[in-house]
Amino acid sequence: MLSPWLELDGARDRVRSWSDRTGLDLIHLGTEADAERIQDTAIAQPLIVALSLLAYDELRERIELPADAPVAGHSVGELAAAAIAGVLSAEDAVTLAAVRGAEMAKACAAEPTSMAAVMLGEPERVVAWLADYGLAAANQNGAGQIVASGAADAIAQIVAEPLEGTKVRALKVAGAFHTGYMAPAEEALRKHAAGITPADPNRPLLSNADGTVVTSGAEYLDRLVQQVTRPVRWDLTMDGLVSLGVTRTVELAPAGTLTGLVKRQLKGVVTSTIALKTPADLAKLEDAA
């Protein structure tokens, strides 16, 4: 996950400093740990944010980015977006991700919960169907994808008996993210966030809550905390990007999923998409520039 990025100048030192802040050996975890260890949400979350920020640092070294280029993140990716927009320091973003991941892992262990991806189907009808099972639409990702979240037995039911016209696939996750099951994690994250003084964004920064641009750093940090128990509206976030005139997107590592959603949902509107999976992919952006 981290190996190719650690070869960049200064990257290893940055990750080492983040390891000191989080109490996690991110270099070992991102280069040598096995898949099961990496899939632990307490490990995955700080690694994802660290990797995104390494990719961004190298991106801005190679490409002169427009000062007003909008930025958005999906779920834990909002922490990286907040750092890119100057709301948080990189150190605070990675540390918050570690706290968020650890506390969400604890909340997941409290009772059996899970998630499932629901593909196709009319969004409003899918959301109502999930509610009949006591499930939440935790991620409304657009492009015909909604992620259900809630009690494990209810998730098993919808996987076994999908709504007509949909396909349902169980996800390998620790529990019901972005629901009330994560309330203890939200409370713990709020306590940690209270010690951080955010700055106002230095570029348009979109929120997963409703796809709008947030101009107050304090409000964005509060939204980051609340997001733990609230749905991710990536569909509205993509609409927000369009409203800002975005026609080209770059997805920071670990990349691919959001680029796929943009290609499907915003076909004909966004004309160029680049997913930075490894440093080698930066050459595509340099060529495009």
Q: Choosing from 52, 74, 178, 207, which is the catalytic residue?
A: 178
Cα angle at 84 between 92 and 246, to 5 degrees?
Answer: 150
Q: Catalytic site residue 207?
A: no
Sequence letter at residue 104: M
**Cβ proximity of 149 and 135 under 8 Å:** yes
Beta strand pairing call for 113-119 and 145-151: antiparallel
Q: Catalytic site residue 74?
A: no
| CA–CA dist 67, 206 (Å, integer) | 15
**Cβ proximity of 108 and 41 under 8 Å:** yes
Residue 35, SS3? helix
Exposed (0-12), middle (13-18) or buried (19+): which is 2, by Cβ within 10 Å? buried
| CA–CA dist 29, 230 (Å, integer) | 29
Task: Of 33, 27, 82, give the one whose Cα is nearest residue 51.
Answer: 27
| CA–CA dist 10, 74 (Å, integer) | 26
Q: Choosing from 19, 52, 75, 114, which is the catalytic residue?
A: 75
Q: Angle of helix 90-110 relative to helix 77-84, nearest 10 degrees?
A: 160
Around 188, how many Cα atoms within 13 Å sit in the side-chain half-sphere? 17
Contacts for 283-286: CB closer than 8 Å, 24+ residues apart: 285/59, 285/62, 285/63, 285/250, 286/62, 286/63
Give catalytic residues, as residue numbers. 75, 178
